Amino acid sequence: MKVLLVGDDYIGSDLLLDGFAPWRGYGCELVTYDWLQGSMERLQYLNRRLEEEGPEAVPPPADIFPLIADADVLIMQFLPLGRRLIDAGRKLKAVGSLRAGYENVAADYLTEKGIMFFNNPGRNADAVSDYAVGMLLAEARNIARSHMALKQGEWRRDFINLPYSPDLPGRTVGIIGFGRIGQLVARKLSGFEVRLLAYDPYAGPEAAAALNVTLTDLDTLLKESDFVTIHARLTEENEHMLGARELALMKPTAILVNTARSGLVDEDALYQALRDRKIGGAALDVFDREPPGKDYPLVTLDNCTITTHMAGTTRDALAKAPHRLARELAKLFRGEEPRPWVNRGRVPFRAFSTGHLAF
């Protein structure tokens, strides 16, 4: 069985090969390829296009077509996997993505072709949840602004939020999206003795109760929270879930943290709310345009902490992702269904056997 491992500037084929090395014991031939753009900035630009325009927006590299022609399994991350490349994989039975999101994959076409598709949710959940807590503290306590002032030779002690810069004990934190990342944020914030609310129409009460979190509706969460942190997936249904109406529900001292996707928030409405001091502040790792540039409206504000879309980027997250996916998909060799099966129920289950695919 031939397994094609496609790395990129973010997770290279060396890490992929390390993670999937145990598959050689199942009789697999591991073939590597790197879709390299030369810089993380270029890769982020292309990934942004794929997220906004879909998998056909960026053409796949020409030299990958001969490699995929006889591949049984494709493992990749940011590679644009559109219809033409899928058609070239005449023997493909399964595709695995190293990430949770799959905007760069023609997932419906994989289903149409009867190809099992698996993703890798939670691969950087610890990294993102750590970062969200850090961003919350940075904005509340002016850490980044004080750092920048000192770098510029200024001993700054006067900040917009100084009259209401809070201690965390007794404050309310609202978590939008209570999946793996949201739950980790709740667990990590519990030591700060905060009250925790969560909004997620798909969350079960058991997980919330185990973490001493109260599930509530979005409006109540926004009205009662001193901090709101977003950890939902972006879909057509929840795009701009926080617009002018929702931001107007927040306390004038409240801080909004977004380490998820910029499309979950109406940026124009957020800019106006921050500019007019309708909310206390924001901490953002994602933007509608990346890189935003120094004149980008949100970048110009003094009550907005900003970073370069790096919440999920740690060495541990990068190294662990291939191992995590390889372990999960190895269930196919035991005739078991991997948990993150995107098109479950729409394509037939096909177990793997050592040395060949079993049907």
pTM over 0.75? The answer is yes
Q: Does 290 participate in catalysis according to the annotation?
A: yes
Q: Which residue range is the domain that position 349 belongs to?
A: 2-123+315-357
Residues 256 and 300 grouped into a single domain: yes
Residues 53 and 114 grouped into a single domain: yes
Residues 192 and 300 grouped into a single domain: yes
Residues 257 and 340 grouped into a single domain: no
| CATH, residue 175 | 3.40.50.720
Between CA 74 and CA 233 the distance in angstroms is 24
Number of separate domains in the chain: 2
Angle at 32 between CA 28 and CA 34, to 5 degrees: 160
Q: What is the pLDDT along the chain (359 residues), one digit of tens a residue?
A: 999 999 999 899 999 999 999 999 999 999 999 999 999 889 988 988 998 899 999 999 999 999 999 999 999 999 999 999 999 999 999 999 999 889 999 999 999 999 999 999 888 999 999 999 999 999 999 999 999 999 999 999 999 999 999 999 999 999 999 999 999 999 999 999 999 999 999 998 999 999 999 999 999 999 999 999 999 988 889 999 999 999 999 999 999 999 999 999 999 999 999 999 999 999 999 999 988 999 999 999 999 999 999 999 888 888 899 999 999 999 999 999 999 999 999 999 999 976 544 43
DSSP string for residues in 273-334: HHHTTSSSEEEES--SSSS--TTSGGGG-TTEEE--S-TT--HHHHHHHHHHHHHHHGGGGG
Residues 327 and 201 grouped into a single domain: no
Residue 355: what pLDDT?
52
Of the residues 264, 289, 306, which one is the last residue of a structural domain? 306
Active-site residue, from 224, 261, 267, 324: 261
Residue 359: what pLDDT?
34
Angle at 315 between CA 50 and CA 42, to 5 degrees: 30
Residue 51: what pLDDT?
85
Residues 192 and 302 grouped into a single domain: yes
Residues 78 and 202 grouped into a single domain: no
Residue 264: what pLDDT?
98
Residues 168 and 254 grouped into a single domain: yes
Sign of the dihedral defined by the CA atoms of residues 232, 57, 99, 116, in that order? positive
- Rg for the chain, CA atoms, rounded: 22
Q: Does 309 participate in catalysis according to the annotation?
A: yes
Residue 354: what pLDDT?
64
Residues 167 and 90 grouped into a single domain: no
Residues 44 and 193 grouped into a single domain: no
Active-site residue, from 48, 145, 180, 309: 309
Residues 116 and 144 grouped into a single domain: no
Active-site residue, from 84, 112, 290, 323: 290
Residue 240: what pLDDT?
97
Residue 304: what pLDDT?
98
Residues 155 and 209 grouped into a single domain: yes
